[in-house]
Amino acid sequence: MNLAFAYTHSPIYFHFRQSPRDFVVEEVPLYSFSGEGAHLILKIRKKSLTTFELLKILSATFGIKENEIGYAGLKDKNALSIQHISLPRYLIESKIESFNHPQIKILNQTYHNNKIKLGHLKGNRFFIRLKKLDHLNAQKILEACKRITQFGIPNYFGYQRFGKEGNNYQLGLEIIEGKCKIRNKKLQNFLISAYQSYLFNLWLSLRLDISHLIANTAPESLHQALKIYLHCEEIPHHFSNMTYCKMLKNQPHCFKLLKGDSMCHYPFGKNFILNEMDNLIAESERFMRKEIAITGILSGAKAKVSEEEAGFLESRFLDSRIRSVGQRRYAWIFPENLSFHYKEQEAQGEIEFYLPKGAYATNLLREIAHREIVETIDLEFYEENTF
């Protein structure tokens, strides 16, 4: 899947292989734990284990069912991961002291009234080590980080979403076409969601291409340029309006907002439609200030579609055969606390940052590198279900 990049710098070269030493992720809970209640909350550090493998070990050790263990999200196997889990207090509290496992360490424990549920996390903090990095490429990373801090990044679904071969969305398509039947409901839903994610990525890539086109095309030539790019003669009439086209080009953000775009207050809040053409510059400035962000659709029966010019483009990536509810997802995010440190003697770089839930660290790394990141990784079957 050849997806567009947000930025136009030349490729940056380094070596990255996801491993517990070079990839660390720490979950940030959605809420503070109360310190009392029927559920024991463990802050756990795991190494080279999937979350499902962690659950199996805890289930066998404490003699409880896996579905009695609560967790907010799934973490990669090839990483050093810190996350919170909940267990029934009355069943296992007396067994905690004797717990010992070479790949699992209990860092802290407290209590809470409710079981932790999937999606109950604010986001994740990351540490990534890059190797074989020379001084010139390190300087280029610094500049890329400055731009990302200012403008943010597209919120693509990462390659992990699409399986080891990168094509599990095709099975999702075959399921909704009735060509493939899978008895395992969880697997079926996952594959359909991979297809929804695939359509989302294609739409977002197209919008980035069009943003670059707007930035590099004279307003009077934009209508014709879009015809050529989209291979379509029927282009919304507003793209022939010079005032509108100038407004698109003059937006301060690199991702150009269109009339009819579905926006959402950031990092959370209500969705709203950009109905007024005259407000595009002002809304782009709010986008620059990280007060709002554009959303994209995960095609489904009840997902609200954007309107006007934005809806014209989004409609290309809808599939009415998808029966799941569908919804909207942030198409653009703003990494926080992004820092880069270069160790010249070791020819290594260290990147630290925070991402909201549902965002992929390897996607940020791809944007910095301005190339596809080729690595060896064992993928966990069911990625964090945060959309």
Which one, of 197, 131, 252, 190, lies nearest residue 383 by Cα?
Answer: 190
Q: Does residue 119 come out as left (phi exceeding 0), alpha (psi in the -120 to 50 range) or beta?
A: left
Nearest in space to 141 (alpha carbons), one of 375, 376, 348: 348
CA-based nearest residue to 25, from 40, 44, 53, 52: 44
- Give yes or no for a contact between 108 and 26, defined as CB atoms under 8 angstroms apart: no
Q: Which residue has the tokens 């934005």?
A: 310
- Which SS3 state, helix, strand or coil, does residue 359 take? coil
Residue closest to 71 by CA, chosen among 103, 47, 42: 42
| Rounded CA separation 233/235 (Å) | 6
Distance CA 60, CA 45 (A): 18
Give the active site residue among 76, 134, 209, 378: 76
Residue 79's contacts (CB-CB under 8 Å, 6 or more residues apart) are 18, 19, 20, 23, 24, 25
Is 209 known to be catalytic? no
CA distance 296 to 298: 7
Kindly give the pairing relationship between strand 80-88 and strand 23-29. Answer: parallel
In the block, residue with structure tokens 């698109």? 248
Q: What tokens does 331 get? A: 């198409």
Q: Taking each helix axis as running N to C, give the angle between helix 222-230 and helix 242-249, from 0 to 180 degrees, rounded to the nearest 10.
A: 80
Listed in sequence order, the residues at least 6 apart from 10 whose beta carbon sits closer than 8 Å to its beta carbon are 140, 370
Bridge partners (DSSP) listed for residue 354: 125, 336
Active-site residue list: 76
